[in-house]
Chains A and B, each alone.
Chain A
């Protein structure tokens, strides 16, 4: 069970630079910590984030064990035409979480 929060403006003027925020719930367990009995807590992290706008990649990030739990990303996109922004997170086991948001450009 995960939760995703996206902050994308609903409308934009062509050529405008919009701020996009994406937050996902994930423990981002680094693999460097130990439990109360001294056992290593296994690494469990998201390794890749991608954002597609009109099917074209506009932002991507590789995650490593140093990223905090529940990672929040803020980035900027130049609005060109109306369409969807698709957000995808992939974890180290290949599990994928996606969410989309539509943008109307005038």
Chain B
């Protein structure tokens, strides 16, 4: 019996090593994956779920208006996307075949704006781009995140994973150390989340405003005393893709409320 068990385990090990990459870096167990809203107190969570009082909807409203407002030259967004964009945000960042790059939702919106509407791209973190991104993401409210990291997006995904796992800054900390290995524990007055981007663009109480995931990432980098990357940097887009794959299965909460 013991010999048989030994044989089975050897077979299992061979089977595992043949299919998965050998890595000593811990990952989130699928059954442990939870949205950051789980760590909010009940009042803040109730505010997020209140579709009237959640202040993020002030931006969603503006985004809705922009969506149907035609720019000077081209058609309005709604002319092409008359049925709305339900479920789309849950698949972003995604590889764009036309330009051969991985784009996040902001990048895709700007891409459309330049090519279809013949308008200059909105600057990252501008009120317009935040509003319309929040509106498009909000249409996928409750949709589970499901990004494609195979094919041409694979290399970008791996760059994002490396960024996540690399120690940086004067504190010499990686994203991984807080958000995979120590989530749920306290860091000063706050609970460490798992670092999912499913509520973004989110209304952070600290900002008293809506902000993009890149703004949040910049805060994280600043927090470990590393040099934050510029808004829209390809490295942050890669990180966003890695984060989205890591959040597989949890649903979009935009506009989320975060501390």
Taking Cβ atoms with an 8 Å cutoff, the residues of A that contact B are 1, 3, 5, 7, 21, 23, 25, 27-28, 68-70, 72
**Size of chain B's interface in residues, with CB distance under 8 A?**
11
Taking Cβ atoms with an 8 Å cutoff, the residues of B that contact A are 52-53, 55, 57-59, 61-62, 127, 208-209
Distance (Å) between the CB of B99 and the closest chain A CB? Answer: 31
Return the chain B residue nearest A7 by Cβ.
Answer: B52
> Considering the complex of A and B, which 6 residue pairs feature the smallest CB-CB distances, nearest first?
A69-B208, A70-B55, A25-B58, A3-B58, A7-B52, A3-B61
The B contact surface, by secondary structure, is: helix
- Among candidates B52, B58, B59, B62, residue contacting A21 with C-beta atoms closer than 8 Å: B52
A1-B127, A5-B52, A23-B53 are known contacts. Are A70 and B62 too (CB-CB below 8 A)? no
What separation, in Å, do the CA atoms of A23 and B52 have in the docked complex? 9
Contacts of A25 in B (CB 8 A): 55, 58
The reply to whether A23 and B127 contact each other, CB–CB distance below 8 Å, is no
The reply to whether A72 and B55 contact each other, CB–CB distance below 8 Å, is yes
The reply to whether B208 and A21 contact each other, CB–CB distance below 8 Å, is no
The reply to whether A70 and B58 contact each other, CB–CB distance below 8 Å, is yes
The A contact surface, by secondary structure, is: loop
Contacts of B57 in A (CB 8 A): 5
The reply to whether B62 and A3 contact each other, CB–CB distance below 8 Å, is yes
A1-B62, A1-B127 are known contacts. Are A69 and B209 too (CB-CB below 8 A)? yes
The reply to whether B208 and A68 contact each other, CB–CB distance below 8 Å, is yes
